Amino acid sequence: MSISWLRTTVESTKKAGEDGRAKPGKLIDFLTERFPTDKMNFHSMLEKKEVPVHSMSWGYYTGGLTLFFFLIQVVTGLLLLFYYQPTVSDAYMSVEYITKYVSAGALIRNMHAWSSSGMILFALVHLLTAFAMKSFEKPRELTWLAGVLLLFITFTFGFTGYLLPWNQIAVNATKVGLQSMEDVGQYLPGALSEVPRILRETFQGEASVGQSTLGRFYALHVVILPLCLLGLLGLHLLQVQLHGMSQGADERPRAQEKFFPIFFFKDLSLWAGVFLIFFVLALTVPFESFLPYPLLAPYNPLGATPAGIKPEWYFYFVYYPLELLPFWVILLTSMAAVVVLFLTPWIFRGTSRKTLKFLSLIATAYLVIMTVFGQRIYDLLKGGG
Amino acid sequence: MSLRLSSPESNLKAPMRALTVPDFAARIMTASPPKTPGYSLKTLAGMPTSLSLLLLLACAAQPVFSYPQFQQFSEKHSGRPVDCAMCHSNESGPQGTGEGQIGSLDAEAMKRLNKARAAMEPQSDVNSPILNSFGNEIIRTLGKRKVLECMANPAKLAEFLGEKKDLDEDGIPDGQEFLDGTDPTNKFHGDPWKLFVANLNKYKAHVILAVLAIFALDFGFAHILKGMTVAMKTRSVGKDLHGTP
């Protein structure tokens, strides 16, 4: 019924436009341009599609790699589901069981951990290169918006997955994260100030991080977030295939290569190479070996909080500034950054690629410095270490 | 606003906590070696009440420490937080009533504890309930006398343990794990670079097979794609020849 209503509306609007009585709405214009039905076929989306070859061509591979890591996450995550128990009494033991007794359990778990980092790393690189290449230009605004949402979902995957092993660092870091969420409330006006508290209570589910929290994070991690991600990923990929690769550089492309099979094969070969690297890493370096062992002990609700509780490396760019600067400064900066990210296609519409590249390099430098040297900067400024 | 829930110092202080009064009183009465964790109140049974009270009062004023030297050294040397669980059954150390702590031991466990305490020389049959496999291995390999000697220079412990002892079989000797501040009883924990080198050596056959499999898959995919392209071109040529759209 709703479809027939929509069809009638579109047809009547079109007819009205043809008659000269009224023009079709701007929204319909916008959507028609972003979803060109004449291009929704195998020929346009695959056979005809070409990829420009220039100095920034490597940027076209970053999105594919992010997708590849997501696929590894799905496969390894499904295998982990066979054994993982989302209860506070069994979660830790089930993870131990997977690691120590299940055939290839340690490898699968390690692949899951390593590729989660890979997924976030390449999602960030993809965002920064897409920004530098001005890939958000008309008609690719929806591709950009879907991409930004996908990045946030990826970070949420990291946050929710961190709690599942139910060890000291998992629970304590989640407590800190949820507390930070609630702290936002004091800076919001009126009724809005209650929203972060309500959100925290919703995610936490009880007075402290416990069974309800674990259940909810588990549901988010394995059902809700994957469904959201799949929907947005579908939209993102459809847009990429409909509009093709963006120009990407100011220079004239050296050549145009066929998406299928040339670029597709190169993409697959790169996936194979990256898989090999991550397979060797997962086989040889347990992801948890980077953490102090007291943080890997089962969570003890009666014990003192152990030293060195930190979030995963991909949150360092927020974590260290939070440690060093007043909360409201970080809050304002983060909110501004989020708004700019969502409005990028409109804010930077007239900006040259040279400027965008420069801005992207600054953002990259900030992320690298905070991730790699964050602890040293903290020690230097706080007089620790 | 600080998000740090506790400082690294708080962890250092944990093993230096004073013994409980009954623990200490009981330890003196059973004439155990100095600076060793105490016994439970159960051993006070049968002693004259006045003597017990006297000892309790005398001990209450004197804080007695565990062996924090090894933990502090490992922590300083490695730059990683280290807790008592490196050698003890309980991460908070031997004192208390929790699992693997002196206050929770039954008669049989106390017997094993006393036997471990008396093991001054190496190669003794030691199975202390308050120590984990690494702690017991240290006493078994070195004997308690040598461990006490190492207190002045904890780095010697790694030297005495040698290169051959590797409880978790992760390829990193236990003495090295003590220096690195990693868990010597968990083969999935160690210095990441050392684990990489050791495991690469251990799993080289797996890696070679993975390389071969990936190259074979890539080769196969290349040919499938080539075949698909040829098929697509043939179809489009056929369509052109027959004039079909």
CB A187, CB A197: distance < 8 Å:
no
3-state secondary structure A129-194: HHHHCCCCCCCCHHHHHHHHHHHHHHHHHHHHHHHCCCEHHHHHHHHHHHHHHHHHHHHCCHHHHH
pLDDT for A313 beyond 90: yes
Query: How much is the CA Rg of chain A, to the nearest whole Å?
Result: 23
A286 to B188: CB separation less than 8 angstroms, yes or no: yes
A306 to B6: CB separation less than 8 angstroms, yes or no: yes
Closest chain B CA to residue A106: B188
Question: Which residues in chain B are contacts of A172 at CB distance < 8 A?
Answer: 5
Task: Give the number of C-alpha atoms closer than 13 A to the C-alpha of residue B244, restricted to the C-beta side.
Answer: 6
The beta-carbon neighbor of B218 closest among A272, A306, A307 is A272
Question: What's the pLDDT score for residue B240?
Answer: 73
Question: What's the pLDDT score for residue A251?
Answer: 86
pLDDT for B19 beyond 60: no
Instruction: Grade residue B244 by pLDDT with cuts at 50, 70 and 90.
Output: low
Complex ipTM above 0.85?
yes
Average pLDDT rounded to a whole number, residues B8-25: 37
CB B49, CB B55: distance < 8 Å:
no
Decide: helix, strand or coil at residue A357. Answer: helix
B107 touches chain A (CB under 8 A): no
Question: What's the pLDDT score for residue A16?
Answer: 52
Lowest mean pLDDT among A149-163, A271-285, B57-71, B134-148: B57-71
Q: What is the crossing angle of helices A168-183 and A195-204, to 10°? A: 160
- Mean pLDDT for all residues in chain B: 77
Closest residue by Cα to residue B179 from B198, B150, B159, B196: B159
A 326-355 residues inside an 8 A Cβ radius of B: 326-327
Average pLDDT rounded to a whole number, residues A331-349: 96
A172 touches chain B (CB under 8 A): yes
Which 8-state DSSP code applies to residue A257?
E
pLDDT for B238 beyond 60: yes
Average pLDDT rounded to a whole number, residues B185-198: 96
Residue B208: Cβ-neighbour burial (10 angstroms; 0-12, 13-18, 19+): exposed
pLDDT for A2 beyond 90: no
Question: What's the pLDDT score for residue A289?
Answer: 95
pTM: predicted TM-score of the whole model, two decimal places: 0.83
B26 touches chain A (CB under 8 A): no
CA–CA gap between residue B147 and residue B178 (Å, rounded): 14
Average pLDDT rounded to a whole number, residues B27-56: 41
Average pLDDT rounded to a whole number, residues B212-220: 95
Question: What's the pLDDT score for residue B136?
Answer: 94
Question: What's the pLDDT score for residue B18?
Answer: 37
Average pLDDT rounded to a whole number, residues A58-80: 97
CA–CA gap between residue B71 and residue B69 (Å, rounded): 6
CA–CA gap between residue A34 and residue A14 (Å, rounded): 17
Quick one: tokens of A283?
A: 């086989």
CB B150, CB B156: distance < 8 Å:
yes
A305 to B5: CB separation less than 8 angstroms, yes or no: yes
Instruction: Grade residue B14 by pLDDT with cuts at 50, 70 and 90.
Output: very low
Question: Which residues in chain A are contacts of B182 at CB distance < 8 A?
Answer: 289, 293
Lowest mean pLDDT among A87-101, B45-59, B62-76, B81-95: B45-59
Instruction: Grade residue A25 by pLDDT with cuts at 50, 70 and 90.
Output: confident
CA–CA gap between residue A64 and residue A342 (Å, rounded): 22
The residue that leads in pLDDT, B17 or A58, is A58
pLDDT for A103 beyond 60: yes
CA–CA gap between residue B20 and residue B18 (Å, rounded): 6
pLDDT for B54 beyond 70: no
Task: Give the number of C-alpha atoms closer than 13 A to the C-alpha of residue A241, restricted to the C-beta side.
Answer: 20
B57 touches chain A (CB under 8 A): no
A286 to B91: CB separation less than 8 angstroms, yes or no: no
In this structure, the dihedral spanned by the alpha carbons of residues A223, A224, A226 and A227, taken in order and rounded to 10 degrees, is 110
The beta-carbon neighbor of A293 closest among B182, B217, B226 is B182
The residue that leads in pLDDT, A34 or A3, is A34
Closest chain A CA to residue B219: A269
Q: A173-228, pLDDT tens digit by residue?
A: 999 999 999 999 999 999 999 999 999 999 999 999 999 999 999 999 999 999 99
Q: B196-214, pLDDT tens digit by residue?
A: 999 999 999 999 999 999 9
B80 to A292: CB separation less than 8 angstroms, yes or no: yes
CA–CA gap between residue B116 and residue B128 (Å, rounded): 6
A297 touches chain B (CB under 8 A): yes
**A348-358 as b/e: b if 16+ CB within 10 A:** beeeebeebbe
A307 to B217: CB separation less than 8 angstroms, yes or no: no
A47 to B189: CB separation less than 8 angstroms, yes or no: no
